[in-house]
Amino acid sequence: MADWSQLSPELLTLIAKCLDTRFDVLRFRSVCSSWRSSFPPKLYPLPTKLPLQNPNSIKYSPEVGDIMIDTIFLVRCPASAACRVVNVREYTHREKTQLLRPLLDHEVRPLVLKIPQVLDLTNFQVIELGHQFLVLTPDGFPEMFIDKAAFLWSNTNTNDFMVLTLIKCLDLYVVSSKSDKIESTLLETRTSDFEYFRDIISFKGKFYAIDDGGETTVVDQSLKLSFIGSPTGKKYCRKFLVQAGDNLLDVEMLAVSADVVGGEMVVDFRIFRLNEEEKKWDAMESLGDQILFLGVRQSVSASASEFYGVKGNLIFYSGLLCTSYHYGDSEDVFVFDLDTYATGPLEIFPEFGKLFWPPPEKARMKQPLWAWLHKDKRRYRRPPEQ
């Protein structure tokens, strides 16, 4: 049998550079001392503070606190063919990890739930589905006018980076670090409440930001701006930018009229894929093998092949995203099935009742019999007319 600890340092470095996530790097370095010494503990350095000073405005602080990373993991147990989706929050300025409620910002309190303090990862497979960077104020609370942050790192020097931040949904701000020199630039400002930016993302070496009307601003690493016109979806609805494999998706959430679904408002989704060559958004009828997870501050995609007994073409989303659209507690996790157009809270979809950990409160309280008796509470959005 081969002695993996004797691999050459050059080969170990080549292997480590192929690892895409910080968690994979952690497991790589845990094999033995020679593997640990071959690669640093983090893929990329992160700043602890972002300077967002604007001499023409007093609403920005010259230092906007620490960076945190929210990550969605899939934890699989091959022995029992079970899997769970877990949300975790980490901080760049201190060694602390928090367990979050599914697709929410809320930390899970160990005093409320009986949560094991140690998890033996030798019995599980852990896959990072995606992560999101956020900015914190110096005292540790989420900054009220900064939502997401998107990072790009240099291909030649991992100490150089660019970060796009979204301030009050109106301003796009870029902070760049090159050769230890940090600069901040205000790229674009919106003056109308009807032109809010709704989401930002980094994708294939560029930044993308989408606004209420569906127009997409593209920022390259020279800070040159270009624009992609609105897709044929509905304006002024909630929009998400999600990377699904090699594709960038615009996912639009909108309310369906009450008379369509029997007197009750529900949500609907429209999905578009970026056509990079023609610089436009193409409509998609199906996600195929993909599953989307849309949280308060997270939007990630995963292949159904990574899960046990879960099909693709599904969207799981937090009730906090659309509390006025449907019945149910705002902290519920909801499901939208693009195959059947069925939608509703997780508790009435028993096939997904154990997918999230810890389970949402209502899903944890309701029994399978209750869910079966209330299957008629599922709402169905009619298929679009051909």
Residue 327: the pLDDT is: 47
- At 22, which helix (H) or strand (E)? helix 22-29
Residue 217: the pLDDT is: 93
Nearest in space to 292 (alpha carbons), one of 310, 266, 265, 274: 310
- 10 Å CB burial of residue 200 (0-12, 13-18, 19+) is buried
**pTM, 2 dp:** 0.82
Helix/strand number for the chain, H first, E second: 5, 22
Residue 284: the pLDDT is: 94
For the residues of 280-313, what is the DSSP string, one character each? Answer: EEEEES--TTEEEEE-SS-EEEEEGGGSSS--SS
Nearest in space to 210 (alpha carbons), one of 228, 193, 192: 228
Nearest in space to 90 (alpha carbons), one of 58, 117, 66, 64: 66
Residue 49: the pLDDT is: 65
- 10 Å CB burial of residue 163 (0-12, 13-18, 19+) is buried
Which segments in the chain show pLDDT lower than 70? 1-2, 20-22, 41-65, 93-95, 110-121, 136-147, 156-158, 168, 170, 191-194, 232-235, 256-266, 323-330, 361-386
Distance from first CA to last CA of the chain, Å, rounded? 60
Q: How is the beta sheet containing 67-77 ordered, strand by strand?
A: 97-100, 82-91, 67-77, 125-135, 146-153, 161-167, 171-178, 181-189
Q: Answer whether 333's CB lies under 8 Å from 355's CB.
A: no
Residue 60: the pLDDT is: 46
Residue 1: the pLDDT is: 57
